Amino acid sequence: MKTLIVIREKDYAWLLPFFPGVHPLVVPICNKPFIEFLIDFAIFAGSKSVRIVSDGPLRSVEAYGQTGSRWGIELGYASIQPEDSFEKIMGKNRKYASEGRLLVISGFMFIAYRNKEELGSYFSTAPAGTLLQHTLGSVSLTGMPATEGAVPDTVPFTISGLDSIASYHRLNADILKELPSPYVLPGYSNEPDCHIGRNVVISKGAEVIKPVVIGNNVQIMKGAVVGPFAVVGSNVIIDSESTVSGSVLLDNTYIGEQLDVIDRIASGNMLIEPETGISIVMEDPHLLTGINSPNLSGAGLLRYLVHAGIAVLLILLLSVPFLLLFPLLKLRGKWITKRKTCFGESHQSTISLAFPSISGNGVLCTLAEALSLDRFPLLFKVLEGRIAVIGSNPQETGGNTGRYPSLAAGYRPALYSYAEAEDWPVNSEEGAIVERYFASHGGLFQDLVLVVKAFLNRMHSKDRQ
């Protein structure tokens, strides 16, 4: 048997603002990526091959699941369009679906079951057709069963809705309630309701109350109380005399001293109240902080040095024309600056950038634009390491595209975009494709060449006008 998992971007879009930068299919539930629960279900049902189909990006899902060898199955990926009907999706995967039975899981939902052994025997005799239907999706089968036998009266699994942050929080608690758990949860487990990962330090005086799931590299300091119903991700520090219960702490979170985190979700420096969906971004680094460090080592440092070097050269080249033209344009009201908040390169970060625009058609305006003087102030952001000289067009956080740049490969806000260098329209779908191509395939030398091309392209575009 094979399994087709069909998940549409619109079904999980609600999750993106809560966990920016994390693909919803790999958002952890009890420290295990969501997609792995569906893969487990397919395997218990008897599948040897699983294909994940989506109209959204699957890159990070593929990076996690790879070929599926860790589960002993063949794992593949395919793309569809948002408007594709069920029949069209089956057509696009006809070759895959043509041999034997096919289990189709459609929708962003959690499949709950009590006994994994029952699944194999059920699917070996279950008839073709829709087995379960839910407002959020369905589970169906195609093809005839290999063995003939009595069809079980009841379906041994149910669909749990996953359509709000409250349902996400509830699901974590429900999985912890199941005893003995039918799900394979990560970590060492000597008791059925307590899973603890590697390198977990529980200091003297700290208390862990079951049921809990704790990830890898976790420090629970003295006097801290963790549980009951706590899910603690990996690389988490819970500082002394803090309490975490009924809560989900995602990876890389620091809970400061003497804090009570009760019935909440903590993701980096964001604290979410599940029932209302209200989230607070904690500014004080001593309270609750993402512990990711900026990538200024190795390749990141080398890239910064090269880009900063190019920025210094451009500053030296453009400073005299800027100092001459800027006051004249400003006085004539032709130099207008707008400040925008854009997504930064690293996980969950934002940057405030000033974007000058030059309005008018005079000689001075043309000259200033041809020399890229409107980009001159951004050169100092390159020196600060906030943006690159060449990379992606900075995307505003207020944009309602529903697509988070951090889900795309190699998003790096920059002074010039790769699309400008290749002479594609910057804000078009084609321009975005070019940006993503070079972001993942480019190198430092190529960056240098493309900066020159982008600079010259702006001159030529002004010539053409």
Partner 1 sequence: MIINKKTGSGITIIAPAGRLDAATAEDFLKSSSALTDPQSIVIDFSGIDFIDSSGLGTLVGIAREKRRADADVKLACLNEKARMVFETTQAFRLFDIYDDADTAAEAAAKS
Nearest to 140 by CA among 155, 151, 118: 155
User: Looking at beta carbons only, is 427 or 440 nearer to partner 1?
Assistant: 440
Per CB under 8 A, the list member of 48, 92, 116, 453 interacting with partner 1 is 92
Identity of the amino acid at 192? P
The answer to whether 183 contacts partner 1 (rule: CB under 8 A) is no
CA distances from 302 to 312, 438, 443 (A): 15, 18, 11
SS3 312: helix
Residues 291 and 432: beta-carbon distance below 8 Å: no
Per CB under 8 A, the list member of 66, 69, 81, 130 interacting with partner 1 is 81
SS3 271: strand
The answer to whether 198 contacts partner 1 (rule: CB under 8 A) is no
Element (H, E) at 459: helix 444-464
In the chain, how many H helices and how many E strands? Answer: 13, 31
Residues 401 and 428: beta-carbon distance below 8 Å: no
SS3 284: coil
First CA to last CA across the chain, in angstroms?
A: 61
The answer to whether 408 contacts partner 1 (rule: CB under 8 A) is yes
Bridge-based pairing of strands 49-54 and 74-79 is parallel
**Residue whose entry in the numeric block shows the structure tokens 């880009």:** 307
CA dihedral 359, 361, 365, 371 (to 10 degrees): 110
CA distances from 346 to 26, 292, 305, 349, 406 (A): 18, 9, 18, 6, 8
- Return the DSSP state at 241: T
Least distance between partner 1 and beta carbon 56 (Å): 9
SS3 389: strand
Q: Taking contact as CB under 8 A, which single stretch among the options 139-147, 162-170, 307-315, 424-432 is the one that binds partner 1?
A: 424-432
Least distance between partner 1 and beta carbon 440 (Å): 5
The answer to whether 453 contacts partner 1 (rule: CB under 8 A) is no
**Residue whose entry in the numeric block shows the structure tokens 């309490």:** 243
Residues 396 and 340: beta-carbon distance below 8 Å: yes
The answer to whether 96 contacts partner 1 (rule: CB under 8 A) is yes
The answer to whether 55 contacts partner 1 (rule: CB under 8 A) is yes
Per CB under 8 A, the list member of 2, 195, 436, 458 interacting with partner 1 is 436
The answer to whether 441 contacts partner 1 (rule: CB under 8 A) is yes
The answer to whether 251 contacts partner 1 (rule: CB under 8 A) is no
User: Looking at beta carbons only, is 84 or 273 nearer to partner 1?
Assistant: 84
Least distance between partner 1 and beta carbon 444 (Å): 18
Least distance between partner 1 and beta carbon 76 (Å): 9
Angle subtended at Cα 168 by Cα 233 and Cα 194, rounded to the nearest 5 degrees:
45
Least distance between partner 1 and beta carbon 442 (Å): 10
Q: Taking contact as CB under 8 A, which single stretch among the options 162-170, 280-288, 313-321, 431-439 is the one that binds partner 1?
A: 431-439
Cα distance between residue 244 and residue 166, in whole Å: 18
Per CB under 8 A, the list member of 64, 77, 304, 355 interacting with partner 1 is 77
The answer to whether 210 contacts partner 1 (rule: CB under 8 A) is no
Per CB under 8 A, the list member of 230, 358, 432, 451 interacting with partner 1 is 432
The answer to whether 70 contacts partner 1 (rule: CB under 8 A) is no
Measured in whole angstroms, the distance separating CA 391 from the mean position of its chain's CA atoms is 20
Least distance between partner 1 and beta carbon 453 (Å): 13
Q: Taking contact as CB under 8 A, which single stretch among the options 56-64, 221-229, 348-356, 388-396 is the one that binds partner 1?
A: 56-64
Least distance between partner 1 and beta carbon 290 (Å): 26
Q: Taking contact as CB under 8 A, which single stretch among the options 88-96, 103-111, 150-158, 384-392 is the one that binds partner 1?
A: 88-96
Bridge-based pairing of strands 129-134 and 137-142 is antiparallel
HSE-CB of 115 using CA atoms within 13 angstroms: 7
Per CB under 8 A, the list member of 62, 118, 163, 263 interacting with partner 1 is 62
The answer to whether 440 contacts partner 1 (rule: CB under 8 A) is yes
Per CB under 8 A, the list member of 95, 204, 338, 464 interacting with partner 1 is 95
Q: Taking contact as CB under 8 A, which single stretch among the options 91-99, 101-109, 292-300, 388-396 is the one that binds partner 1?
A: 91-99
Binding residues (CB under 8 A) for partner 1: these are 55, 57-59, 62, 77-79, 81, 88, 91-96, 408-409, 422, 424, 429-430, 432-434, 436-438, 440-441
